[in-house]
Amino acid sequence: MQLIFLGTGAGRPTLERNVTSIALQFPERHNRFWLFDAGEGTQHRLLGIKRLKLSKLDKIFITHLHGDHLYGLPGLLTSRSFIEGAGKLTVYGPPGLKAYLDGIMDISEVHLDYELEIVELASEKMEQTVLEDSFCRIVAMELDHRIRCYGYRIMESPKTGSLDLEKLKRLGISPGPEYGKLKRGEAVTLKDGTVIRSEEVLSSPKKGVTVTILGDTAPCENAVKLAHEADLLVHEATFASGLEEKAAAYGHSTITQAARAAREARAKCLVVTHFSARYAADAVERMAEEARSVFGNLHAAADGREFAIPMDAAGED
């Protein structure tokens, strides 16, 4: 997986940072990708990353209905109608999302050339399954913000083990359809009648990665639950340390509070984002350096910055 930050600012755009949007790309799945939030200008950011084509976008997850996380969505949906090969798109989000989009589409007389499905999450504090298939399971929980806001936990399914190529060679099995059968867990019968079971030539399954992407939130128990032992946690850090009272008044977190949440959750890596417009890039880096005393593997997001998942402590730019 590849996490790409399209917008990392809070409230309003600046010359350094656009408002919130994150792409989660799957190179192994023909470069398909998902979006988490779509603040104003998101489609312009996408134009700058050639491999993120709207025809490859099939899911969008909205954390909440504040404009800096949402106002780019109608334009993006409309533009996607002009993209050849754009198939069904599903948008998940809080109650009210369908009324918002239906109203805009109706008033603007927009007619999409693809199927749009809108799924509204339940209004409850408990964990709810948003999506479950052979690739992953995604759950959501409500966070502590001024309006209903969700965090998402993406849990990749275990990956099939690797084939023992040397053993296959000794058995006289050449690359071809038999490899595919064994990878799928099927048995293969040799010409002499010998049956080769997949478990004889496959290594143990590999654990899938877990990514947690939170919307705006003050420190809360659900944020820690969603982030439990995540390979990568994305947590807002609207304010610098020392502004806890101001953060609480607006339903946000300071960077130190984000670091504490990652530490409590035993996450492997923390990427902080959603910085107030008052902070220039150098100020954000100073904030991050201070917060590393609480959680060492902390990285400050910037527009266009990418992280491979799983990743090492250095990240990827």
145 is in an annotated binding site: yes
Q: What is the pLDDT of residues 178-209, one digit of tens each?
A: 888 887 788 988 888 889 988 888 887 788 99
Average pLDDT, the chain: 94
Is 68 annotated in the active site? yes
Q: Tokens 């999302």 sit at which residue?
A: 97
Q: How many residues does the chain have?
A: 317
d(CA 274, CA 4): 14
d(CA 192, CA 201): 18
- For the chain, which domains are there? 2-159+206-308 (3.60.15.10), 165-201 (no CATH)
Q: Which residue has the higher pLDDT, 315 or 99?
A: 99
252 is in an annotated binding site: no
69 is in an annotated binding site: yes
Among 68, 144, 231, 303, the one annotated catalytic: 68
Beta bridge partners of 144: 218
Q: Does the pLDDT at position 158 exceed 60?
A: yes
- Which stretch of DSSP H or E encloses residue 40? none
68 is in an annotated binding site: yes
Return the pLDDT at 314. Answer: 39
